[in-house]
């Protein structure tokens, strides 16, 4: 797998206060990578180190195999957490200005800006002063600044913050399109449902250190239980050497295999005992549950 | 380079299309007139002081072959001489303060010659009131109606000046270039730098700085702003020069310009030095504005803090008359080497011919160091403070950062 971002033993301290502690992770080409953590856990600092906005105290933070260089700016789209706009400027001139700064020609910049405005239903506002737009419309312009150069790598720090459900959905669609077109996306979010919808891999940090890292399934699996939730017909024995039952009532049961048995053993055993199984699931927690557990746990 | 151009272009366009820019540009002449009234008091004081200086002269020689001035009026420090050449040599060697030559045909020529020392622009016409009152008193004592036209400024005084044994020229034309240089200095240093402070602070307040950092080098961002704002200042200058030219053009019939524009001296060395002082003064204050804009969270706070530096930089204006009278005095020397005031004072002293070649070299080297040092600190403050959105950067963190960075 081609690594787009490679963070190795990254440490960043402010004075004597360490904010990022020995953090390592990789983002592969084509990933939609979620960068998770509570407020103040060091996510923004890590991103700033990646983009050379802050100098790491130790360790390395590489993009496309190199330390960030402004020559890479044309391949990257960055939407910071603290973001704004030149509110007295017009929509079109703002998009064109940033496109030019990213190395595009004026003609190309204008063409791309119009295309983007059309995509986000703002083409009628191309000559409007930004301060006259609604906050949701302004956020679309901020995103436009990030996306206008069709970047290979998108780094989005809380991209959906403050967006209404319609615009949030539009953003998700846009990110999907970009990812399908080959862009790698790294994003910070506190909306775990969004992460579950679009991310394939993640790193979760707590107090500047890595807590969890891997694919979404791998991470959730670490917190999964092997409790089987069954909807059935027939009669399930309440005491059996194959499992422990936490509840059996109204044709719904929760059974946990013993240390000597597996979920397969339990299902086979029930079928052998003429239990008709209508439906079953093996318990996996939501990312929200995982996040809360990690943040509350002293183990991480 | 392309980034600097794009940023400069944006700074320029966004500023010149604001109505407030044109209002402030056109209000500037009004402000200058107001300042002139305020400084009028200072000028009056300076004039009184010059007259006192003339009255305190130790030795004034009088060549008056026909005794137009009655003997009774020839009292100390006035001393009558017979040998005009010997008298002139005393002026040249500095052993006498002035020589008044009353010609034999004064009633027809109505002209008196004065030979005196060149002590700077303020010595222009220094002895004129003395000569006029001497002529006035003499005419009054003679009760001759034919002499009446000589009273009350009826005599033209032709002055010849000497400095260090050489004849010098003191003319208003000599001050056209310096005055233009000072106008340019004020426009660039104070007005343009205020735009720079606004620009740096707004970048931070608008929360655009972090996006910019991911695209543009910090130095390019600042230099782009400085170039854009310099162009804005030149636009203001062009507007003001055009406005002045139009006023002169339409009022030539009623307006007698006391300056012969053809006599303006374009000395390339002095012009280069003025440009150097203007540029360095602009850059020193620009570095202050970048630093202040970086460490303060809002434009409002940055503006109030920057006023401390602006007041310090215009400090020499408060004792300008001292500077004019004693351009090589202790105060003038001190403010010549203080970073915020050096360029303005050095330019003023250059106008007054009060800078030696050595001083020019030493002070220029020092001014270059101030500019480099100013920008070194400004860029460090920009690195340290540009992402501090909500808090002022403390003096302790600045000290710690600068020490750490320089180690």
pLDDT at A4: 96
Helix, strand, or coil here: B256?
Answer: coil
Maximum distance among all Cα pairs of chain B, rounded to whole angstroms: 90
Report pLDDT for B78.
Answer: 85
Q: Which two tokens stand for residue B173?
A: 């034309």
Q: Which of A15, A82, A85 sits opposite B210 (nearest CB)?
A: A82
Least CB–CB distance from A78: residue in B3, B207, B211: B211
Residues of A in contact with B386 (CB under 8 A): none
SS3 assignment, position B311: helix
Q: What is the mean pLDDT of chain B?
A: 83
Using left for φ > 0, alpha for ψ between -120 and 50, and beta otherwise, residue B110 falls in left
Contact (CB, 8 A) for B370 and B282: no
Q: Which of B8, B11, B20, B208 is the best mutation test for A, with the most CBs of A within 10 A?
A: B208
The C-alpha atoms of residue A83 and residue A161 are separated, in whole angstroms, by 11
Tokens of A187: 């994003």
CB A25 within 8 A of CB A204: no
Query: With 70 as the cut, is the pLDDT of residue B200 above it?
Result: yes
Q: Averaging pLDDT over each range in A192-206, A271-285, B260-274, which range is the top one?
A: A192-206
pLDDT tier at A78, thresholds 50, 70, 90: very high
* CA B82/CA A81 separation, integer angstroms: 91
Give B-chain residues touching A89 at CB under 8 angstroms: 14
Which residues does chain B have within 8 Å of residue A51's beta carbon, measured at their own beta carbons?
213-214
* Domain B57-168 annotated CATH 3.40.718.10: no
Confidence of residue B28 (pLDDT cuts 50, 70, 90): low
Structure tokens of A202?
């993640």
Query: Does the bond joining A144 to the residue before it have cis omega, within 30 degrees of 0?
Result: no
Q: Do B214 and A85 count as a contact with CB atoms less than 8 A apart?
A: no
Q: CB distance B14–A85 less than 8 Å?
A: no
Contacts of B106 (CB under 8 A, 6+ apart): B68, B112, B150, B155
Q: Pull the structure tokens for residue A45.
A: 């600092």
Whether B378 shows a pLDDT value over 50: the answer reads yes
The whole-angstrom separation of Cα A289 and Cα A221 is: 12
> What is the DSSP pairing of strand B60-63 with strand B78-81?
parallel
Q: How far is B400 from chain A (nearest CA, A)?
A: 9
What is the CB neighbour count within 10 angstroms for residue B289? 28
Q: Which whole number is the average pLDDT over A75-90?
A: 93
Q: B144 or B81, which is more confident?
A: B81
Q: Is the pLDDT of residue B46 over 50?
A: no
Q: Do residues B31 and B49 lie in contact, with contact meaning Cβ atoms separated by under 8 Å?
A: no
**CA B372 to chain centroid:** 24
In chain A, residues with a C-beta closer than 8 Å to the C-beta of B214 are 51, 53, 73, 76, 78, 80
Residues of chain B with CATH 3.40.1710.10: 57-168
Poorest-confidence range of A111-115, A155-159, B81-85, B128-132?
B128-132
Count of beta carbons in the 10 Å neighbourhood of residue A6: 18
Number of Cβ within 10 Å of residue A290's Cβ equals 23
- The owner of tokens 């983007």 is A116
SS3 of A269-296: the string is: HHHHCCCEEEEEEECCCCHHHHHHHHHH
Asked if the model's pLDDT at residue A259 lies above 60, the reply is yes
Q: With pLDDT > 90 as the criterion, what percentage of chain B qualifies?
A: 29
Are the C-beta atoms of residues A192 and A212 closer than 8 Å to each other?
no
Give the CA angle between residues A182, A188, A193 to the nearest 5°. Answer: 90
Residue A137 CB contacts under 8 Å (≥ 6 apart), including other chains = A122, A125
Look-up of token digits 């001035």: B69
Q: Does B217 touch chain A (CB under 8 A)?
A: yes
What is the interface pTM, i.e. ipTM, of the complex?
0.81
Q: Which among A76, A84, A88 has CB closest to B207?
A: A84
Structure tokens at A189: 């979010």
B7-19 burial code (b ≥16 CB/10 A, e <16): bbbbbbebbeeee
Q: Are the CB atoms for A10 and A61 separated by under 8 Å? A: yes
CA distance A50 to A232: 53
Give the best residue of B3, B211, B403 to mutate against chain A (max A CB count within 10 A). Answer: B211
Q: Are B189 and B285 spatial neighbours (Cβ–Cβ below 8 Å)?
A: yes
Which residues in chain B have Cβ-Cβ distances shorter than 8 Å to A102? 215
CA distances from A105 to A95, A96, A97, B76 (A): 12, 9, 10, 83
Higher-confidence residue of B3 and B265: namely B3
The pLDDT, as a whole number, for residue A37 is: 96
**pLDDT, tens only, A272-298:** 999 999 998 887 778 888 899 899 887
Of B206, B214, B387, the CB nearest to A84: B206
Q: B213 and A53: CB-CB below 8 Å?
A: yes
- Between CA B60 and CA B57 the distance in angstroms is 7
How far apart are alpha carbons B39 and B202 in whole angstroms?
A: 35
Q: Which residues does chain A have within 8 Å of residue B14's beta carbon, measured at their own beta carbons? A: 86, 88-89
- pLDDT beyond 90 at A48: yes
Q: Which carries the bigger pLDDT value, residue B318 or residue B345? A: B345
Find the CB nearest A84 among B3, B208, B215: B208
8 A C-beta contact, residue B350 and residue B71: no
Both tokens of B321, joined, read 């008359």
- Which candidate from A73, A82, A101 shows the least CB-CB separation from B6? A101
Per-residue pLDDT of B279-290, as tens digits, reads 999 999 999 999
Look at residues A160, A146, A188 and name the one whose alpha carbon lies nearest to residue A40. A188
Residue linked to tokens 């750490």? B404
Poorest-pLDDT segment among A60-69, B62-71, B398-407: B398-407
pLDDT tens-digit map of B169-195: 766 667 777 878 888 888 778 778 888
**Chain B contacts of A79, Cβ < 8 Å?**
211
Average pLDDT, integer, range A33-45: 95
């Amino acid at each position: 797998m081609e690594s787009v971002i490679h963070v190795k033993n990254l440490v960043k301290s402010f004075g004597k206060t360490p904010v990022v502690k020995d953090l390592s992770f990789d983002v592969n080409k084509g990933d939609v990578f979620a960068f998770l953590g509570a407020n103040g856990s060091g996510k923004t600092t890590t991103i700033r180190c990646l983009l050379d906005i802050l100098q790491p105290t130790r360790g390395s933070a590489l993009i496309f195999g190199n330390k960030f260089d402004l020559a890479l700016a044309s391949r990257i789209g960055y939407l910071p957490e603290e973001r704004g706009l030149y509110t007295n400027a017009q929509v079109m001139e703002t998009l064109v200005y940033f496109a030019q700064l990213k190395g595009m020609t004026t003609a190309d910049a204008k063409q791309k800006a119009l295309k983007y405005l059309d995509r986000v239903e703002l083409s009628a506002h191309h000559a409007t002063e930004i301060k006259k737009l609604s906050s949701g419309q302004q956020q679309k312009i901020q995103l436009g600044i990030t996306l206008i150069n069709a970047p290979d790598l998108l780094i989005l720090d809380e991209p959906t913050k403050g967006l209404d459900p319609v615009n949030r959905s539009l953003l998700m669609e846009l990110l999907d399109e970009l990812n399908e077109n080959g862009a790698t996306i790294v994003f910070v979010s506190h909306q775990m449902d969004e992460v579950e919808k679009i991310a394939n891999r993640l790193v979760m940090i707590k107090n500047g250190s890595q807590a969890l890292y891997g694919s979404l399934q791998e991470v959730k699996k670490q917190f999964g239980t092997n409790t089987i939730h069954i909807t059935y017909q027939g009669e399930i024995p309440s005491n059996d050497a194959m499992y422990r039952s936490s509840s059996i009532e109204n044709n719904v049961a929760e059974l946990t295999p013993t240390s000597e048995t597996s979920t397969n053993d339990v299902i086979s055993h029930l079928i052998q005992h003429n239990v008709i199984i209508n439906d079953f699931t093996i318990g996996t927690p939501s990312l929200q549950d995982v996040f809360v557990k990690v943040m509350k746990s002293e183990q991480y | 380079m392309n980034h600097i151009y794009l940023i400069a272009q944006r700074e320029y366009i966004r500023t010149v299309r604001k109505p407030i820019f044109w209002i402030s540009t056109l209000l500037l002449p009004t402000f200058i007139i107001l300042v002139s009234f305020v400084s009028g008091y200072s000028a009056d004081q300076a004039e009184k002081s010059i007259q006192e200086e003339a009255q305190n002269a130790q030795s004034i020689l009088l060549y008056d072959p026909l005794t137009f001035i009655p003997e009774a009026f020839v009292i100390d420090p006035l001393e009558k001489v017979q040998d005009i050449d010997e008298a002139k040599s005393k002026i040249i060697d500095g052993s006498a303060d002035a020589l008044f030559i009353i010609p034999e045909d004064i009633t027809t020529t109505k002209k008196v010659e004065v030979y005196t020392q060149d002590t700077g622009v303020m010595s222009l016409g220094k002895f004129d009131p003395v000569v006029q009152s001497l002529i006035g008193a003499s005419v009054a004592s003679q009760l001759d109606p034919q002499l009446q036209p000589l009273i009350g400024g009826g005599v033209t005084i032709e002055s010849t000046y000497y400095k260090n044994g050489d004849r010098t020229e003191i003319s208003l034309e000599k001050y056209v270039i310096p005055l233009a240089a000072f106008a340019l200095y004020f426009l660039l240093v104070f007005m343009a730098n205020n735009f720079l402070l606004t620009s740096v602070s707004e970048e931070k307040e608008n929360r655009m700085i972090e996006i910019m950092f991911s695209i543009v080098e910090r130095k390019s961002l600042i230099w782009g702003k400085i170039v854009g704002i310099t162009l804005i200042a030149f636009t203001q200058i062009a507007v003001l020069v055009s406005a002045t030219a139009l006023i002169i053009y339409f009022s030539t019939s009623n307006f007698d310009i006391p300056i012969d524009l053809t006599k303006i001296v374009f000395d390339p060395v002095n012009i280069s030095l003025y440009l150097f002082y203007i540029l360095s003064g602009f850059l020193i204050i620009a570095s202050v504005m970048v630093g202040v804009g970086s460490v303060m969270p809002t434009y409002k706070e940055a503006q109030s803090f920057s006023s401390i530096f602006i007041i310090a930089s215009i400090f020499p204006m408060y004792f300008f008359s001292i500077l004019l009278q004693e351009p090589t005095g202790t105060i003038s020397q001190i403010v010549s080497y203080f970073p915020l005031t050096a360029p303005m004072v050095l330019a003023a002293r250059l106008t007054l011919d009060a800078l030696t070649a050595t001083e020019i070299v030493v002070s220029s080297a020092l001014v270059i160091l101030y500019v480099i040092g100013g920008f070194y600190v400004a860029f460090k403050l920009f690195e340290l403070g540009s992402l501090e959105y909500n808090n002022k950067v403390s003096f302790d963190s600045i000290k710690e950062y600068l020490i750490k960075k320089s180690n």
